[in-house]
Amino acid sequence: MKETDLKTSVMGRRDFLQACALLSLGGLVFDVSEAVARPSPVKSEFVVINGWVLPAHHFRQTQA
């Protein structure tokens, strides 16, 4: 079997930076397209106070 030579790099510094830039650009493109198609947020039915999850209907104002 052939021994691996650890002194030679598989990917050079320039190739690594190009790959990072390409991945960043791809992430940016997909994130922008997802943000455009994102639906409006649904109102939560729960409230978190000091770590306790409580039903939101207890905190709603009732009309007299």
- Structural domain count of the chain: 1
Of residues 10 and 56, the one with the higher pLDDT is 56
Identify any residues that bridge with 54 across adjacent strands, giving them in sequence order: 47
Q: What is the mean pLDDT of the chain?
A: 75
| Distance, C-alpha 10 to centroid of its chain | 30
Report pLDDT for 37. Answer: 59
Looking only at Cα atoms, what is the longest distance across the chain?
A: 86
Say what the pLDDT of residue 8 is: 61
Residue 64 falls inside a structural domain = no
- Single pTM value for the model: 0.37
Q: Which domain range does residue 39 map to?
A: 13-58
Once rounded to an integer, what is the mean pLDDT over residues 18-27?
Answer: 86
Determine what percent of the chain falls in helix, strand and coil, rounding each to the nearest 5. 45, 10, 45
Residue 1 within a domain: no
